[in-house]
Chains A and B, each alone.
Chain A
Amino acid sequence: MSYVSLSFTVLFVALSIALSLWLRLGVERDIVVAAVRAAVQLIVIGYILKWVFASQRLIFILLMVALIIAVAAWNARGRAKGIPGAFWRIALGLVVTEVLTQAVLVGFGVIPFQARYVITTSGMIVGNSMVAAGLLMNRLRREVESGRSEIVAVLALGGSPRQAMYPRLVQAIRAGMIPTIDSTKTTGLVQLPGMMTGQIIAGQDPVQAVRYQLMILFCILAGSAVTSIVIGFLTYPTLFNRYQQLREDVLT
C-alpha cells in the first residue's frame, strides 16, 4: 500500500471529527491527537524495525524489548496512583513474563531467535500484559479501599499482612486475568485476531496463520497470569509498614 492510498483512509478520521462536531461530542481534539500520534508512532517504529531487522544485532533486539517494557510499565503505572514503587514492580512483572514466554518460544524452537519474531511477539505479549497489570493495580486499590475494615480486623487478630490481603489479592489478580480469558474464549468467533489477519493479508495460508495466532494467544494467556501474580505479590507488601499496619499515607 502506498502513502497515497493510505492518505484516502484519512477520510475516516475526518468523518469521526465531523460526527463529533455535529453531535457536539467534544472529542474532536482527542481524535486529532490520537490520529496524529498513531501515524507518527507507527511510521517511526516502522523505520526503526526495518533498520533493526536488517542489522540483526542482539543488542538492538534487547533494546527494543526494553523500550517496549518501559513504555508499557510507564503506561500501566497510571492506574496505580498512590501505590509506591509501582513502576519498578510492574516493569519487573513484565520482564518475568517476557523472559518466561520467550524462553519457551525460542527454547523449544517455536520461533527462530530473530528480530522479526522476537520483537513482534514481545510487543503483543507485553501489550496484553500491560492491560492486565493496569487492571490489577486499579482493582487492588479499590479492594483495599472497600475492604479496609476487614483488613484491619485480620491485622487486629494478629494476622499477617499476607493473610489480611489474600482474599483481596485474589480478586485483584482475577480482575487482571479475566478479560484475557474472556477474549480468548470468543476469539475467531467475534473477531479475527490481528496477527492472523495480518498474515492472511500478506498471503499466508490461513491454517498456518491460525497456528501462529494460537501460539500468541497461549502466550498472552500465560502472560496475563504471570504478570498479574508477580505484580500482585510484589505490590501488596508496600501497603503495610514494618509494624504490620495498613499504611494510611498510600492509596489516598
Chain B
Amino acid sequence: MASHAVELKNVGFETGGLWLLRGVSAEVDVGKTVAIIGPSGAGKSTLISLINLLRTPTEGEIVVMGREVREWPVRELRQRVGMVFQSPVIFPGTVRENVLLGLELHHRPPRDVGDLLRMVDLPPDLADHPAEDLSGGQKSRVALARTLAMEPDILLLDEVTAALDVHAKREVESTLLRLKQTLHQTMLWVTHDLDQARRVADEVWFVAGGRLVERGSPDELFTEPRSEALKSFLAEGGDPRS
C-alpha cells in the first residue's frame, strides 16, 4: 500500500463561476488524523467531499491509496473512503437496519450489530429500536456505526460533533479517538472546535478563502502561527460558531 493514504496535488474546485478551493497540495499518511480548521465557508467541507468523489475536482489530482479518485470504480472508492456528515442522516426503520444499510447496498454479508454498536459506545440492545427516536448524539453514533460497518480505510468526518451538546460531543469524540487507536484508521476531520482539533489531530490544516494557508502539528500551529490569517483566526477563538 502507498505510504500516503491521500495525496492532494494542486487541487481546485469551481462551481457556478466561483472557485471554492484553489491550489491545495498536501498529503495524509496512513493511520494519521488530520484536523481541518478554518472560518465558515473556507472550503473545508468541499475539500473532504472531493476525496470520496462526492464532488469532482475541477483542476489538479487527488490520489487515494495510490490511485486517482476518477480512476477508482466509484462504488469501491466510497466503500473504502467512508464519510460521516454534520447532521446525521437517519433512514426510516430500526437502528439495525440503519447500521447495516451500507453492507446491504453492496450485498455484503451482515455483521454483528451488537459489536458495531459497542464500537461506537451504544448499548447493543438498542438494535431493534426505531432509529428516528434516538437522541442527537445517539443518531450521530448510529451514522458513524453505519460508516464503520463498511470497514473503510479512510474516514472523512464533516463537523460530526458540531450539532451536539457538550456531553454528547465528548462522547462521540472519545469514541473516535478510541477507534483511531484500535483500528489505526486514517481520518480527515473537519472541525470548528480548536480544542477538539488539538486533542485529536496528528496534524492540523488551516484552510481559509479556499486555500490551504498553513499546516503543521497542533503544537506548532496553535503556539506559533505564521500567517496573519491564522493569527487573527486564533485570536478570535476560531470560528464564531464554536
Which residues of A does B touch, CB under 8 Å?
149-150, 152-160, 163, 241, 243-245, 248
Contacts and interface: CB of A to CB of B under 8 A. Distances in A.
A196 B76 CA distance: 58
Nearest to A244: B74
Interface of B: 15, 52-56, 70, 74-79, 82-83, 85, 87, 89, 91, 101-102, 105-106, 143, 146-147, 150
Contacts of B91: 150, 153
Nearest to B55: A245
A244 B74 CA distance: 7
Contact of B89 (A149, A160, A243, A244): A149
A155 B54 contact: yes
9 contacts: A153-B89, A153-B91, A156-B78, A156-B83, A241-B56, A243-B70, A243-B74, A245-B53, A248-B15
Nearest to B77: A158
A241 B54 CA distance: 11
Contact of A150 (B70, B75, B83, B89): B89
Contacts of A244: 53, 74-75
A153 B85 contact: yes
B46 to A, nearest CB: 12
A158 B89 contact: no
Contacts of A152: 54, 85, 89
Contacts of B75: 158-160, 244
Given A156-B83, A157-B102, A159-B105, 9 more contacts: A153-B85, A153-B89, A156-B52, A156-B54, A158-B105, A159-B102, A163-B105, A245-B55, A245-B56
Contact of A245 (B54, B105, B150): B54
B56 A157 contact: no
